[in-house]
Structure 1
Amino acid sequence: MMTDGLDGVVAASTILSDVDGAAGRLVIRGRSLDELAGRTSVEEATALLFDGFFDDRPSGGEWRAHLGQARHAVFAEVAALDERLIRHGPLEAVRALVARLADGEDLATALRLVAAPAVFLPSYLRLRAGHAPVAPDASLGHAADVMRMLRGQPASSVEAAALETYLVTVCDHGLNASTFAARVVASTQAGLTSAVLAGLGALKGPLHGGAPGPVLTMLNDIGEAGDARAWLEAALARGERLMGFGHRIYRVRDPRADALKRALATLGVEAGRLAQAEQVEAAALAVLKDHKPGRRLETNVEFYTAVLLDALGFPADSLTCVFAMGRSVGWLAHAREQATSGRLIRPQSRYVGPAS
């Protein structure tokens, strides 16, 4: 039976993550999101997802050093960031730099691909702002180094922890569009760089990874209007979607939204922004319930992603790239799982055109 959009079709067996949309539960390699978010480092999440997929895995305490060395290695590619690439925008620039990395299936290749968006995005943003890129510090934790490369000076431990919570929260999420794209490419034995490039291409779309930026636009517009419910009702009357609400899988609240809301609450200086976000969220849920009573449209990950990453200083047009920083770990784990235990992915289509 053919299903448009592949809804309900099982396309892969995986040990990596389980998304229970009915219960609002996310499990990553046997551990719930509540166990991981705010309690696990990027390095630990990488070790967890990569477990069993590489022969040369380092011991537990060595992951930080290996990922730090990978950031140092990919920084050489930043020299290719010229004015033309900067004009193209953050995701296009990051994707072009990732394409300069060699394909491969080993751990060193995988770690360079985890490091790539974490190094390339801060470098791009600094160059666009007229500042010199900041070289990585291999001795730092991954999230802390990202913040340092972005700002040119160390971030507070609270800010680094908030970014780390975000990166771990989004590291994997079942067979979403970008992960499926990465698995399709991996099934051809093309290599990990090719798989990550496929993931980046899919993530660019506004129906997948491109939604957090418009959430900020919505919050800013509502702030100027001063009446959240009136603004939201007018948007629905125009046929617009309320960005940050509704999810293809979840029929209840997205558990990642709560993890990111907790991380945002640790950034005390942004309490005013959090209060506004909570007010808009409450108004949006009420409006959606009134206007679409037959559908469960709850808060999704993009809503508090936008507020959190804005508070950390990432521009609105760069948020999809920050998403890629976290999700690249999942893409790589899925790519290795597909390449080592799966078959070439080759679904069929049903022809509905004119007969000959």
Structure 2
Amino acid sequence: MMHKGLKGVVATETRISHIDGEKGQLIYRGYDAKVLAGKCTFEEVAYLLWYGHLPDKDELLWLNEELRKNRFLSEEMKTIITLLPRSMDVMSVLRTAISAESGYGEYHFPPTISQAIKLTAIIPTIIAFRKRALEGVEDVSPRSDLAHVENYLYMLTGEVPQYAHAKALESYMILTLEHGMNASTFSARVTASTESDIVSAVTSAIGTMKGPLHGGAPSGVIELLDDISSAKNAEKVIREKLTRGEKLMGFGHRVYKTHDPRAVALKTKIKELGGQDDWLDLAMEVENIAITLLEKFKPGRALYTNVEFYAAAIMKAIDLEPELFTPTFTASRVVGWTAHILEQAEDNTIYRPESRYVGEIF
């Protein structure tokens, strides 16, 4: 039996994550991702995915130091990024720059966690350097006294971010570190299965993430929030959209048949930060009104907010340009990719599915 797109085909075993769409669960190494996002830092959860356990105090200090010392771009790398065409999108720049990274270190098979840390550390710097170069302003060097996500926002703007913005983005990035055998993760594992290096595998993953069917930005949700602009307009705008038969962006998910656990966790974090940002507060009010109306217009469908809904609200709150949404997603997912690349190398078998010929024979 053919399974188009390999849907439903189990191709490997993993200890990294588990998704239960019926129960609305996302598990990282045995831990509920919602719980991790509520009490852990980006660095702690990255350590968990790479090493299989949460770090103790000394292990966390070590990882923080490794990430901080690997944030800096070489002058050669800066030159490469600067010389790329201005019309090149950020994901293509990221793919090219990461590919070039193979020339600045020992990246032979098998992959190592040190290599995974290096790639994770430099991706935010590449994004920020490119953004500021296009704007014609001076690049902002990484700060060693700032945490990973906080430093990313600092490099983008040149200002230490508001606490609420940094914590909201950190929660989002924790919840998008890993999500099973998705297209980009599969791409990374296929490349690693040939015993190619970790840079090549991550480059493959970035190229896959670039596709709009996988790493598409939540721009539709931004448009919805812009249309509403104020809680007093929410019911009118949403009712009109549903009456016209329009899809309500940010609601429903292909995998999760109940609440998306990532959206639940982001909402919880935003509640903790309540009153610190108008866009985050608006998102929570819109969600309540939309779910009530969706039940009336589409009874029994159980359409709840997905991670893109609150991701869009966070991106809007921190004033992140739409072209940086997918690169920011990539800056988190690289941790999951590299965890899978490491796992693939531990018990490697090259991926070699078959195809069915349906052409003519003469």
Interval of TM-score (by shorter of Structure 1 and Structure 2): 0.7 to 0.9
Give the one of 346, 351, 355 matched to 2:357: 351
- 1:230-269 aligned at under 5 Å gives the runs 230-233=239-242, 236-237=245-246, 241-268=247-274
Quick one: which amino acid aligns to residue 226 of structure 2?
Answer: N
- 1:211-230 aligned at under 5 Å gives the runs 211-223=217-229, 227-230=236-239
CA distance in 2 between partners of 1:52 and 1:285 (Å): 37
Quick one: which amino acid aligns to residue 18 of structure 1?
Answer: H
2:164 matched residue in structure 1: 158
User: Is it true that 1:118 corresponds to 2:124 in the alignment?
Assistant: yes
Deviation at 1:324, TM superposition (A): 0.7
Give the one of 165, 178, 183 matched to 1:177: 183
Quick one: which amino acid aligns to residue 169 of structure 1?
Answer: L
Deviation at 1:288, TM superposition (A): 4.8
TM normalised by structure 2 equals 0.87
2:13 matched residue in structure 1: 13
Identity of aligned residues (%): 37
Contact 1:232 1:284 in 2 (8 A): no
Deviates more, 1:188-197 or 1:135-144: 135-144
Give the one of 177, 181, 194 matched to 2:200: 194
- 1:44-83 aligned at under 5 Å gives the runs 44-51=44-51, 59-73=59-73, 77-82=77-82
Quick one: which amino acid aligns to residue 261 of structure 2?
Answer: P
Quick one: which amino acid aligns to residue 305 of structure 1?
Answer: A
Contact 2:73 2:125 in 1 (8 A): no
Residues 60 and 76 (structure 1), Cα distance of their counterparts in 2 relative to 1, 3 Å cut: farther
Quick one: which amino acid aligns to residue 182 of structure 2?
Answer: N
2:36 matched residue in structure 1: 36
CA distance in 1 between partners of 2:179 and 2:147 (Å): 23
Deviation at 1:207, TM superposition (A): 2.4
2:212 matched residue in structure 1: 206
Q: How many residues align?
A: 349
Quick one: which amino acid aligns to residue 112 of structure 1?
Answer: K
Quick one: which amino acid aligns to residue 77 of structure 2?
Answer: E
Deviations 1:151-179 (A, max 9, x none): 21222333322222222111111111111
CA distance in 1 between partners of 2:96 and 2:248 (Å): 31
Quick one: which amino acid aligns to residue 233 of structure 1?
Answer: L
Residues 324 and 161 (structure 1), Cα distance of their counterparts in 2 relative to 1, 3 Å cut: same
TM normalised by structure 1 equals 0.88
CA distance in 2 between partners of 1:90 and 1:269 (Å): 33
Residues 141 and 275 (structure 1), Cα distance of their counterparts in 2 relative to 1, 3 Å cut: closer
The runs of 5 or more residues in structure 1 that have no matched partner are none
1:300 matched residue in structure 2: 306
Contact 1:74 1:116 in 2 (8 A): no
Superposed CA RMSD in Å reads 2.6
The runs of 5 or more residues in structure 2 that have no matched partner are none
Contact 1:254 1:301 in 2 (8 A): yes
